[in-house]
Amino acid sequence: MTTIIRALAAATALCSAAALAIPEGPAYPSAAWTEREAANFSTVTQAPQEELGNPAFLQRLGAQSLDNISSLTARDLADPSWVLASSTPVDELLAAVADPASLSGTLLQVLQQVAADPGSGVSLSLNSPLTPLCASYAFQCDGDPFRFPQAAGPDGSTFYGGAAVVTPVVFYDSGCARLNGQVWQPRNLPAGTTLPGIVIQNGSVEAPQVAYWWAAQLLVQSGYVVLSFDPRGQGRSDQETPSGGQGTNINPSVFWTGLVDAIDFFRSSPASPYPNNAPCAGDYPTKVTASNPAHAAIDPQRLGIVGHSLGAIGVSIVQGYGAPGADPWPGKLDKTNPVKVAVAWDGLLAPDATQIGGAAGGGVLTLLQQLPLTEQAYAAFVQLVITRGAPVFAPRVPSMGQSSEYGLVPTPFLVPPDPEMHKVGFDAWESAGVPSYELTIQGSTHYEWSLVPTFPASSWCPDTSSGACAGGWGQPMAQYYTLAWLDRWLKNPGETGYDDADTRLLDDGGPQGAAKMSFYFRSARSYPDRQGVEQLCQDIRAGCAAAASASSSSSSGGGSGSSSGGSPASNPEVDPSGSSGGGAFAPWLLPLLAGAGWTRRWRRQEPMRL
């Protein structure tokens, strides 16, 4: 009887919220709809207008770009094996120059090697001052120019001198390409203190690790140890392996295999050195980092992964190794998958799906995707170019997807898009009984997360008066929910962010809440809060508070949520005792009870951190 009462209360809440459900007015087609869309689309011009119109921003960008070009040049002069003319014999000879006594012996050895294998003397690296793209970390490859040590401001010299210890690292991936990264940890950490760890993975093409230093700084200031790195073919990592294996979009698999390598490095220590360095030791004269310099500060039981774009695809895949029916964990230091939580910035990929958040969005493409031929062509493109060779994976850990409205190539909407389009990943997680959260930022593009100067995005640097980028639209929202989700699943009692993580995630009326979420695409959540109450809402802008109030008033400890559109049958409400509630109609109850079973199954597989 209690279950039925709770179901009736939830159904009442659903009906009261339905009038606010996405798609919201004005009606289409109409002049009012077109006017609203024009205003919404204009948001994507905010960032470039602000940056190009701000002399302080342009001066800082120019100065930092020159510094970054200088540092790249210094690296390549000190170790020419990073640049185009390098090959293994040349590297050996250059290393021997520093020791004249060994030069003649090395020369003889090289000549014998080339005689036995002529190809070894002419094999050339594809590394150059221009490849990988953004190796310079300059201009549009600079990211936020106020987040470098050379900048005099709160995100520059103040941060690096007072808040954090940042250590450059170089380590080999499993194909012996050198990966460039940074390990970030809080400064003056008390002895014996251990913190949760996060590995951040770039997006592809013009997205070096510096474009995501906003996240590294946010996390280290919030009590995390962080690894940021350039995957193979990105930034200042190798374009290819010694045997010619490529990186970046030429070989998208590096965004999951390389992420596993990065996790291995992050979890390495002097007692358990990073395993790829030894077998790759003869390939380059470059000095690599034997193990994570911040290993003593990391709690090995608390690991999260975060990624953008193709990096988000990698995150979606890597979190799912070891799930029932999935491929086993391929790492070399852990027997099982150590990842406990994931955040996918544009966006969360479901198994066997081709919709990846809002990355491919934009009005023209959305219109074309409604045609059967172009929809099939897009699906084939994703499977052949973006996810080819992907392993078998499944939802396994709590995962958040953040999506953009206008995607990689922003164009205005000509017709209303499918409001459920961005929830494909969310639906897969919910169906598997694994906690999930999906949000779409209103008026956003794919570049809300990779801060590429002058690229179309909503405001992210409107005020530089403090010597840092302050304010903005999409960026503060991305920061807010990323941190809240990680805090919910990784923080321990007594640590900053533990007590109020749920409050932040459920603050729909707050400055980063429902008002900033898309009125085209539904944002949703399905996860248990620290009290064990299921926070279920299929359309956050529709108003989840009413459903939560009705549910809690009918029975203490019940679930909460509202559903506007979508399938009510896929929305389990589970209380800590395992009882379930649902809608007002009897056909809802069986799927909801099945949903409770899914959630209990997840809780058996992964211990819940309340």
Please indicate, yes or no, whether residues 477 and 377 belong to a single structural domain of this protein: yes
Phi, psi of 195 (to 5 degrees): -125, 160
Please indicate, yes or no, whether residues 434 and 481 belong to a single structural domain of this protein: yes
Instruction: Please report how many Cα atoms fall inside a 13 Å half-sphere around the Cα of residue 567, on the Cβ side.
Output: 14
Residue 462 lies in a domain: yes
Position 568 scores a pLDDT of 26
Please indicate, yes or no, whether residues 222 and 311 belong to a single structural domain of this protein: yes
Please indicate, yes or no, whether residues 41 and 146 belong to a single structural domain of this protein: yes
Please indicate, yes or no, whether residues 108 and 140 belong to a single structural domain of this protein: no
Cα–Cα distance measured from residue 427 to residue 417, given in angstroms and rounded to the nearest whole number = 18
Residue 381 lies in a domain: yes
* Residue written as token pair 């690599």: 288
Cα–Cα distance measured from residue 3 to residue 349, given in angstroms and rounded to the nearest whole number = 34
* Residue written as token pair 């690229």: 455
Cα–Cα distance measured from residue 589 to residue 581, given in angstroms and rounded to the nearest whole number = 7
DSSP one-letter string for 522-549: --EEEEE-TTS-EEEES-GGGTSHHHHH
Cα–Cα distance measured from residue 271 to residue 333, given in angstroms and rounded to the nearest whole number = 11
> What residues are paired with 196 via a beta bridge?
none
CB neighbours of residue 344 within 10 Å: 29
End-to-end CA distance of the chain: 28
Position 370 scores a pLDDT of 65
Cα–Cα distance measured from residue 593 to residue 571, given in angstroms and rounded to the nearest whole number = 10
Instruction: Please report how many Cα atoms fall inside a 13 Å half-sphere around the Cα of residue 69, on the Cβ side.
Output: 11
Residue 559 lies in a domain: no
Please indicate, yes or no, whether residues 137 and 106 belong to a single structural domain of this protein: no
Three-class secondary structure of residue 307 per DSSP: strand
Last residue of a domain, one of 490, 521, 552: 521
Cα–Cα distance measured from residue 343 to residue 314, given in angstroms and rounded to the nearest whole number = 11
CB neighbours of residue 347 within 10 Å: 31
Low-confidence ranges of the chain (pLDDT < 50): 1-20, 85, 119-123, 546-610
Q: Which amino acid is at 351?
A: P
Cα–Cα distance measured from residue 306 to residue 303, given in angstroms and rounded to the nearest whole number = 10
Residue 580 lies in a domain: no
Cα–Cα distance measured from residue 195 to residue 164, given in angstroms and rounded to the nearest whole number = 14
Position 95 scores a pLDDT of 61
Position 352 scores a pLDDT of 87
Count up the domains in the chain and report the number: 2
**pLDDT (tens digit, 9 = 90+) per residue, 213-254?**
999 999 999 999 999 999 999 999 999 999 889 998 889 999
Q: What is the CATH number of the domain that holds 340?
A: 3.40.50.1820
Residue 554 lies in a domain: no
Last residue of a domain, one of 521, 538, 563: 521
Phi, psi of 366 (to 5 degrees): -60, -40
Instruction: List the domain range (segments joined by +) for residue 150.
Output: 33-74+130-521
Three-class secondary structure of residue 85 per DSSP: coil
Contact in structure between 183 and 226 (CB atoms under 8 Å):
yes
Please indicate, yes or no, whether residues 244 and 323 belong to a single structural domain of this protein: yes
Cα–Cα distance measured from residue 138 to residue 63, given in angstroms and rounded to the nearest whole number = 9
| pTM, 2 dp | 0.83
Last residue of a domain, one of 502, 521, 540: 521
Position 547 scores a pLDDT of 45
Question: DSSP alpha helices (H): ranges in 355-505?
Answer: 363-369, 372-381, 424-431, 474-490, 501-505
Cα–Cα distance measured from residue 332 to residue 201, given in angstroms and rounded to the nearest whole number = 19
Paired tokens of 21: 């459900």
